[in-house]
Every structure is written in C-alpha cells, then in structure tokens.
Amino acid sequence: MMVGIVGLGSYVPEQVVTNADLEKILDTTDGWIKSRSGITERRFARKDQATSDLAQIAAERALEDAHLSPNDIDLIIVGTNSPDMLYPATACLLQEMIGARNAAAFDLQAGCPGWVYAVTAGTQFIQSGMYKNVLVVGAEVITRMMDNTDRGTYVLFGDGAGATVLSTVEHGGFLSFELFADGSLAQYLTLPAGGSRKPFSKEVLKERSYFTKMDGQAVFRFSVREISRISKKVLDKANVPLESVDWFVPHQANLRIIQSGAQELGIPMEKVVVTIDKYGNSSAASIPIALDKIYTEGKLKNGDKVLMVSFGAGMTSGAIIMEWSR
C-alpha cells in the first residue's frame, strides 16, 4: 500500500525582519549574515501568535488542497520544537482550532527533522490500517526560543508552518524513509531550562538558559556529514539512482550546508529548493514550506522524484524519497 501527500499548505507570518534590522540590535552585519548563512531576511510571528496559530493557517490550506473536511482527519501529528506550552500538545490545541473532532493528536519532538519524523510515523499508521487520513504539520515560532543578545543564534532563525495531509495514493508516494539519532551529540544544540532538569529559577533568568544554546561549528560538521550519508541511504533503500532525483528539498539551516550537501551528492543547484534567503531557518517547518513553494509555483510535476533531508537537535537526521503524484 502506497502512502503519499494528498494535501499541502504553508504559512509564514507577514512581519519581515531584515539583516539591517538586526544590525540595529546586535553586533552583526548584513555581510556576515549573508556570507556565513545565506540569509537576507526572515519572518517573525506577531506577539499574539503562537505556534498553533501558524499551524492552523497551514493546516486549513492543506485540508482545502486535499478537498477534505476536518472531520475526515483521523490523526494529527505536529512536529515542533517551540510548542505553545510544555503541555498539552500543540496538536491538541490545533485539533480544537480546526475542528477535527474525530482526530487523535500528539506532538513529535525530533529537532529540525520533526516533520520528516512525523511523516514517517504518520505513514506507519496508514499502512497498518489503523488510520486513513493523517495531518502532519511542521510548525514553529522558534524565534521566541532565541536570545536576542546572542548573535550566534538570533540572526539565523525564522517562524513559519507547513502542513501535509497523508493518505493512500494509487501511484508513487513515499518510496522510502530513513531516520537517525545520536544522543552523544545532544549537548551541541539545546534549550537547557524550563523542563524537569532545570526548572525556572532566578539562576535560569540570570544565565538566560531558557534560550537556545548552540555550538554552531559542531552542528555544521554533523549536518554536512549527515546530509549526504542519509540521503544516499534512503535512495539505496528505494533503488532510486541519484540522477533520477528531480528535486532536492533540504532543511534550510545554512546555504553553505545546502550547497556542500548538494555538491557531495552531485545534485546541480537548479534542482535544489532554497528558501533560507527569505525565511531563515524555520526548524521543523522548513521542508514543508519549501515543498509548498515549488508546488504553488507549479514546478512540481506528477512523477517527479523529491529527496527531502533534515538534521538538527538530538542530534537527529531524517530523509524521505517521494514520487509526487496528485
């Protein structure tokens, strides 16, 4: 039984934050940000918007695209690293917002590959026969997890959401999945406080450990290694040669990581979808947003082979090779 994407939608907040805006609050320059990351601008959610609000708009667009009503959804999985609150799950809040009365709901936290992990999980529910239609959303207001006094992280991230409805398809769909985690590298990308290890305290406030801490170079090395390793693995599993890949949709963390991954795989840049220049790193939302970009631009054609790969906190990585069919 083949499972694929039968509905796709995304949303990015309207507020554009340029590198010049960040030059005013941080010791940074447009030149540094562009040359080191490829980012020109990013989107910030409005003060009154939380992750579920962004997820709602993307989910409603995906449902409309799928020609399904919220009542047709059996399960909602939200991949996020910036949930509205520690609990309940953002997926439950989303269930209520879109009126998906028949759906079970949970969040899946797997760093930036959260959407890739969630699509993999959602597919298993359909293939096992337990559910028919699964809504998988990657959604983040990740900028709120960033320290606006830390130039090493604050300039890199942006907010957004991408949603996909999964169901059985007659042709194509997901050809193979590959997931990976290495907890020995967990310390390189963390949000240390606010959980059971380090609850809120005066000390937490003072050390600003309720914000993301990242060893950029360590994450960079892991990402460059993983992007080609796990891509080759997922393609081998599906017996798809690299030359047959029509679209490469990598997680948007750094243009240099994307370029070196594409180069190592031998994929020309014309086949690579890039949104980081406009949206920055929107964590678990970056791949479905990028996919929706080529979809709404009319570039994604039936039969196209799409390679999606992500990497992030955990450290984790994940890849999917899909044949687009609508």
From 30-38, 98-106, 166-174, 316-324, span contacting ligand UT7 (CB under 6 A):
30-38
Considering CB under 6 A, how many residues would be counted as binding ligand UT7? 20
Residue linked to tokens 């997820």: 55
Question: 315 CB contacts (<8 Å, ≥6 apart)?
Answer: 111, 181, 182, 183, 185, 186, 188, 189, 219, 222, 226
Does residue 143 touch ligand UT7 according to CB under 6 A?
no
**230 binds ligand UT7 per the rule CB under 6 A:** no
220 lies in the binding site for ligand UT7 (CB under 6 A): yes
Cβ closest to ligand UT7, residue 167 vs residue 310: 310
Judged by CB under 6 A, the chain residues 182 through 211 that form the site for ligand UT7 are 189
Q: Which of 19, 92, 112, 254 is labelled catalytic?
A: 112
Point out which residues pair with 189 in neighbouring strands. Answer: 214
Question: Is 112 one of the catalytic residues?
Answer: yes
* Shortest distance, position 214 Cβ to ligand UT7, whole Å: 6
Q: Given the complex with ligand UT7, which of 27 and 270 has the nearer CB atom?
A: 27
Residue 180 binds to ligand UT7 (criterion: CB under 6 A)? no
- Beta strands (DSSP E) in 49-185 are 75-79, 104-108, 134-140, 160-168, 173-181
| Contact assessment for residue 322 and residue 308, using Cβ atoms and an 8 Å cutoff | yes
Residue with smaller CB distance to ligand UT7, 167 or 223: 223
- Which pair of tokens denotes residue 117? 């992990």
251 classed as catalytic: yes
* Residues 243-262 close enough to bind ligand UT7 by CB under 6 A: 253-254
Query: Residue with the closest Cβ to ligand UT7?
Result: 216
| Pairing state between β 15-18 and 173-181 | unpaired
| Cα atoms found within 13 Å of the Cα of residue 32, Cβ hemisphere only | 12
Q: Smallest distance, Å, CB 271 to ligand UT7?
A: 21
112 scored as a contact of ligand UT7 (CB under 6 A): yes
Q: What Rg do the C-alpha atoms of the chain give, in angstroms?
A: 19
| Beta carbon of residue 105, minimum distance to ligand UT7 (angstroms, whole number) | 25
Q: Tally the C-alpha atoms within 13 A of residue 86's C-alpha that lie toward its C-beta.
A: 8
Pairing of strands 134-140, 160-168: antiparallel
Cβ closest to ligand UT7, residue 226 vs residue 292: 226
Taking the complex as a whole, how short is the minimal distance between the CB of residue 242 and ligand UT7, in angstroms?
A: 23
Q: Which SS3 state, helix, strand or coil, does residue 217 take?
A: helix
Q: Which of 50, 314, 311, 28 is nearest to 191 (CA)?
A: 314
Q: From the CB of 174, what's the least distance to ligand UT7, in Å?
A: 23
Q: Does 319 bind ligand UT7 (CB under 6 A)?
A: no
Q: Which of these ranges, 66-74, 198-206, 214-222, 300-308, lies near ligand UT7 under the rule CB under 6 A?
A: 214-222
* 219 binding ligand UT7? (CB under 6 A): yes
- Using CB atoms within 10 A of its CB, is residue 15 exposed (0-12), middle (13-18) or buried (19+)? middle
Residue of 249, 92, 111 lying closest to 189 (CA atoms): 111
From the list 19, 92, 251, 254, the catalytic residue is 251
Distance from C-alpha of 43 to C-alpha of 160, rounded to nearest angstrom? 7
Give the sign of the dihedral formed by CA 195, CA 55, CA 316, CA 216: negative
- Residue 223 makes contact with ligand UT7 by CB under 6 A: yes
List of residues contacting ligand UT7 (CB under 6 A): 28, 32-33, 36-37, 112, 151-152, 155, 189, 216-217, 219-220, 223, 253-254, 281, 283, 312
Active site residues: 112, 251, 281
